[in-house]
Amino acid sequence: MEYTILRSKRRTLSVSVREGEVVVRAPLGLSARKIDEFVERHRLWIARRVKEQSARPKVDFSDGTRIFLFGAERRITTGRAKLTQDTLFLPQENRENALIRLLRAFTREHMTAITEELALRFGFRFGKISVSSARTRWGSCNAAGNISYTFRTAFLPVDLCYYFAAHELCHTRHMDHSGAFWGLMKEIMPDCMEKRKRLKGYLWAMQCL
């Protein structure tokens, strides 16, 4: 198995897979044999990650491609990175990185507005809102009431964005998924279970960038 070794002043070994490339981070003086043994022990995990990443859906960044963001269809056009009512402008080079930066900024703006709206309507209080690159969850809420949303919520229709804002606000009162939590969810969003089922159709968004 081919892999790249990055050595630094660290004490432990770690392995990651990015775009199909296997990278091992190792202490400066560790022998190649020890590194090979480490990789061999993790061979199955590495193979699984490589396979998962090769199957990820890809975004077509070429001009003219139409993409749904924040519930609206937009056409990709060359230009300084920005989002208008019907157009997604991306620079000629490094379009994926430009899109991620743009989505992070607009997700913060979009989800903050929705969260504040629901909090005001239903009497919730929350702390700070941040945006992550999480691939395993759409949002999270900690004990301090701080809420985080993955920038990938940008690919959801607006009503599902409201679902996740409501979900995290309910966690400011119930930190688990108990009956009390779902009871509160149903009070403020009676069709929340139907929305929850629909999310399965958007799992691709967790892997596309």
Buried b (16+ CB within 10 A) or exposed e, 70-98: beeebebeeeebebeeeebbbeeeebeeb
CB-CB contact of 37 with 24 (8 Å): no
CB-CB contact of 103 with 67 (8 Å): no
In 3-state terms the chain splits into helix, strand, coil percentages (rounded to 5) of: 45, 20, 35
Split at pLDDT 50, 70, 90, the class of 203 is confident
Helix (H) or strand (E) holding 101: helix 95-122
The type of residue at 181 is F
Residue 55 reports pLDDT greater than 70: no
Domains delineated in the chain: 4-54 (no CATH), 94-206 (3.30.2010.10)
What pTM was estimated for this model as a whole?
A: 0.72
